[in-house]
Amino acid sequence: DGGITQSPKYLFRKEGQNVTLSCEQNLNHDAMYWYRQDPGQGLRLIYYSQIVNDFQKGDIAEGYSVSREKKESFPLTVTSAQKNPTAFYLCASSTERDRQYLNTEAFFGQGTRLTVV
Amino acid sequence: GNSVTQMEGPVTLSEEAFLTINCTYTATGYPSLFWYVQYPGEGLQLLLKATKADDKGSNKGFEATYRKETTSFHLEKGSVQVSDSAVYFCALSDLGVISGKLTFGQGTILTVHP
């Protein structure tokens, strides 16, 4: 079955440590995204990538880094510079929009819950 | 910039009650509009979508109509079930090629009691 796999589901990090969240997709989608979810705030975009070896900052990129070395993979690193990293992180992917604006759906993974201890 | 405002929750209903969750948006041009649902501890699933004015998205008994004149995309269901208990997010996708670059509302928690 095609889909998006995030791992691990739960992650604990000590203050001052970097940690990397995995996201893999087998949907053959060109674009991938990372969102952060905090209680009562909806989702906010951290980074996105339209193509391999290229990525763009979203609304809350500070303290995060990404890479896109393969089409299938878009790992997110939460660095020690992120002041409040405890949150639920969601990865998503999508195709590019066609001329009739079809295929505008983003598919989401099951999420990784990161807790700083 | 783009923004989405959802009806504040939580919303608590009895089974078979009518559901409305209000959603209004601010955007330039003609964005695509979505409702996503999130069950406890899981990621988001697309519930329905509409890509142009007056389109009606529907799925699993839920409906929403893209109203350009009122910049709204309210979610409705005629008879809710306990299994509909979840968090519902309204979202828009702005113009351009990047269809997964979404602006979300804050989410509305729905609890349905037997």
| CA gap B71, B112 in Å, rounded | 28
Cis geometry, peptide bond prior to residue A8 (ω within 30 degrees of 0): yes
Residue A102: pLDDT band by 50, 70, 90 thresholds? low
- Chain B residue numbers touching A5 (CB-CB < 8 A): none
Give the pLDDT mean for B70-98: 90
Instruction: Tell me whether residues B106 and A40 touch, CB distance under 8 A.
Output: yes
DSSP designation for B8: -
Helix (DSSP H) and strand (DSSP E) numbers for chain A:
0, 11
Quick one: pLDDT at residue B95? 62
Quick one: pLDDT at residue B100? 78
Nearest CB neighbour to A106, from listed B4, B41, B100: B100
Q: For the segment B41-71, what is each residue's pLDDT rounded down to a tens digit?
A: 888 999 999 988 999 999 999 999 999 999 9
Sign of the CA dihedral with A22 first, then A4, A61, and B22 last: negative
Q: For the segment A10-26, what is each residue's pLDDT rounded down to a tens digit?
A: 999 998 899 999 999 99
Scanning A60-89 for CB atoms below 8 A from B yields none
Instruction: Tell me whether residues B102 and A106 touch, CB distance under 8 A.
Output: yes
Of residues A1 and A31, more confidence is placed in A31
Residue A41: pLDDT band by 50, 70, 90 thresholds? confident
Quick one: pLDDT at residue B96? 60
| CA gap B72, B25 in Å, rounded | 6
Q: For the segment A42-85, what is each residue's pLDDT rounded down to a tens digit?
A: 899 999 998 899 999 999 999 999 999 999 999 999 998 888 99
